[in-house]
């Protein structure tokens, strides 16, 4: 029998992609795996991360019996996507910041990239900007605190709204900015608050729907229909288990690592 589509992230950010998958593929079974024991990935060395991502994803693929893997994490995708495709026997879909669609819809040709420090400064991101937004001004805003606030929200706590205001405050000095890329999968979980507390109205763009569309294309012939769905974690957490249950993962298990 075909297995579920497995969504992987360092923390809860991949749940924003889960929401997109639910909308596009409502009958598909999903599984979720997060390396919450090592969150946040953006603060760790690249070489160590590649090994860790391979270890966790290999274990999660084996444990879930999945039909394919969605790497719903920008850091993991930019570092380990090719290595995962070489190592795993199931299809692998990655994540990139939605620079191309944002450039396509911007009227003022000034777009923003709200992402973690690791993403805004990574050479991969700069190549995306040169390739797909060469005629745009692209303002990169490091927004690491939003990762913590998204984790807090999924765990059942209200985000710190002062943190959101401070993180978004640079937008006040950009009167011609009309489109903002949410370049971390954690950030769409906070979309309603971001819209409310941004200093000025903009279009908010993320890659969730594009990822879900690609996953459907690659895995449509293999995925199992929905049933009991499992979330896999690398460290026990009652709050995280409750949060995962809110996204349809009724059972949470500890991922077996060597």
Question: Do 111 and 177 share a domain, yes or no?
Answer: yes
Residues 7-33: pLDDT tens digits?
Answer: 999 999 999 999 999 999 998 999 999
Question: Do 117 and 35 share a domain, yes or no?
Answer: no
Q: Domain residues for 112?
A: 99-207
Question: Do 170 and 221 share a domain, yes or no?
Answer: no
Is 169 labelled a binding residue?
no
Smallest Cα–Cα separation from 90: which of 235, 233, 203, 222?
222
Look up the pTM and report it.
0.94
pLDDT of residue 2: 77
DSSP string, 113-171: EEE-HHHHT-HHHHHHHHHH-TTSEEEEEE-THHHHHHHHHHTTPPP-HHHHHHHHGGG
Question: Do 213 and 91 share a domain, yes or no?
Answer: yes
> Do residues 66 and 41 touch, judged by C-beta distance below 8 A?
no
From 207, 226, 246, the end of a domain falls on 207
Is 10 labelled a binding residue?
yes
Is 41 labelled a binding residue?
yes
> Do residues 142 and 168 touch, judged by C-beta distance below 8 A?
no
Question: Do 199 and 132 share a domain, yes or no?
Answer: yes
In the three-class reduction of DSSP (H, G, I as helix; E, B as strand; rest coil), residue 238 is classed as helix
Is 124 labelled a binding residue?
no
Q: In which residue are the tokens 């910041």 written?
A: 97
> Do residues 143 and 184 touch, judged by C-beta distance below 8 A?
yes
Question: Do 127 and 176 share a domain, yes or no?
Answer: yes
In the three-class reduction of DSSP (H, G, I as helix; E, B as strand; rest coil), residue 64 is classed as helix
Question: Do 108 and 168 share a domain, yes or no?
Answer: yes
pLDDT of residue 1: 47
- Residue 57: asked if its preceding bond is cis (omega within 30°), the reply is no
Residues 98-138: pLDDT tens digits?
Answer: 999 999 999 999 999 999 988 998 899 999 999 999 999 99
Is 176 labelled a binding residue?
no
Classify 156 in phi/psi space as left (phi over 0), alpha (psi -120 to 50) or beta. left
Question: Do 65 and 47 share a domain, yes or no?
Answer: yes
- Phi first, then psi: what are they for 65, rounded to 5°? 60, 40
Residues 191-222: pLDDT tens digits?
Answer: 999 999 999 999 999 999 999 999 999 887 66
Counted domains in the chain: 2
pLDDT of residue 258: 75
Question: Do 114 and 132 share a domain, yes or no?
Answer: yes
| Cα distances (Å, whole numbers) of residue 217 to 3, 7, 93, 213, 227 | 16, 15, 10, 6, 21
pLDDT of residue 238: 96
Whether residue 226 has pLDDT greater than 70:
no
Give me the active site residues, please.
Answer: 73, 184
Is 74 labelled a binding residue?
yes
Q: What CATH number did the domain enclosing 162 receive?
A: 3.40.50.1860
């Amino acid at each position: 029998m075909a297995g579920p589509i497995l969504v992987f992230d360092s923390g809860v950010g991949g749940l924003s992609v889960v929401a997109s998958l639910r909308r596009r593929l409502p009958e598909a079974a999903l599984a979720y795996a997060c390396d919450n024991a090592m969150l946040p990935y953006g603060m760790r060395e690249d070489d160590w991360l590649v090994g860790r991502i391979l270890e966790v994803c290999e274990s999660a693929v084996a444990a879930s019996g999945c039909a394919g893997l969605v790497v719903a994490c920008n850091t993991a995708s930019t570092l380990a996507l090719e290595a995962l495709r070489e190592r795993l026997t199931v299809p692998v879909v990655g994540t990139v910041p939605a620079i191309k669609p944002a450039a396509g819809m911007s009227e003022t040709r000034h777009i923003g990239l709200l992402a973690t420090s690791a993403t805004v400064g990574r050479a991969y991101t700069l190549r995306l900007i040169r390739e797909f937004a060469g005629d745009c001004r692209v303002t990169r805003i490091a927004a690491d605190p939003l990762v913590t606030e998204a984790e807090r929200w999924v765990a059942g706590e209200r985000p710190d709204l002062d943190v959101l205001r401070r993180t978004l405050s640079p937008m006040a000095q950009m009167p011609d900015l009309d489109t903002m890329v949410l370049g971390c999968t954690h950030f769409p979980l906070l979309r309603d608050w971001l819209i409310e507390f941004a200093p000025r109205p903009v279009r908010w763009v993320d890659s969730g729907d594009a990822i879900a569309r690609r996953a459907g294309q690659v895995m449509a012939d293999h995925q199992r229909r929905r049933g009991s769905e499992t979330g896999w974690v690398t460290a026990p957490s009652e709050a995280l288990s409750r949060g995962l249950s809110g996204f349809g993962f009724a059972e949470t298990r500890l991922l077996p690592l060597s």
